[in-house]
Amino acid sequence: MLQPTGHADQNRAVVVSVARFYPGVSLTKRPGAERDAKKIHKTLRKLGFRVKLHSDLSSEEIYQVFREESGRGVKDCFLAVLSSHGEEGCVFGADGIPVQLSRIFTCFKNPTMDRKAKLFLIQACRGGDLDDGVEVDSAGDAADGSFTQYLSVPVDTAVMYATAPGYGAIMSPLGSVFLQTFCALLEDEDLRRLELTRLLTRLSHQVAFTFQARGRLLDGKKAMPCLLSRLTREVFLFDSSKDAGISAMIGSENGRTRTPSIS
């Protein structure tokens, strides 16, 4: 059984970013990934999170990070960012070996993380299609893989992907529109007070309606984040209006009171 360790009196975040791959791996360098990692590290630290930043880890090292983090105590919530090349259901370690997201999520099905709010942000491709900004009826076979991922996600967890199943995620030397917009929203005190799913809906709106790629290859392409939620209550991860700092709080039925942590 995992024993709670670490800073249980503080909310924690882990950022795993792969910008460079081992020699011989047929995956290109990801310009902008390091800028994303530094930005989100700075943003979350300012909001009171204890943040760990890991760069260019192998697949097994990534698994090990999350096995360890899932057994460490946390005050109210845990936030993870995974940024790399990817396909549906996985991201790639610096060694080019796929890291199955379902294995990462399953790590957090344990007593230490029970009844704690958990948020995963995934900046990675989920296929090779590009979004022209038109509506489609389905994403084809990707739906089956998405359902498998849903089953692996613990209760009281939200997973936000930079893109929909089957589509590519856009990255530039200035960073990803997904993570840069997320950080920009958290810099607004009023937006930080939003319930989590409302905040993530605002994130989707900002990315979908204000971003359009430029350049010879991607000119005019759009991005549309995708939310998978197994939250059972309203969660306020970034509301710092109380002396205790950041806390995951649950709205009462009448919306007038809030109680620390998920209950």
pLDDT digits (tens, 9 = 90+) for 80-136: 999 999 999 999 999 999 999 999 999 999 999 999 999 999 999 988 655 444 343
What's the whole-number mean pLDDT along residues 17-22?
A: 97
Assigned token pair, 243 = 């002396």
Statement: 12-131+145-239 belongs to CATH 1.10.3720.10: no
183 catalytic residue (yes or no): no
Tell me: pLDDT of 256 over 70: no
pLDDT digits (tens, 9 = 90+) for 228-252: 999 999 999 998 664 333 344 444 4
85 catalytic residue (yes or no): yes
Which pTM does this prediction carry? Answer: 0.83
Catalytic residue, from 41, 85, 90, 107: name it: 85
Catalytic residue, from 77, 90, 107, 125: name it: 125
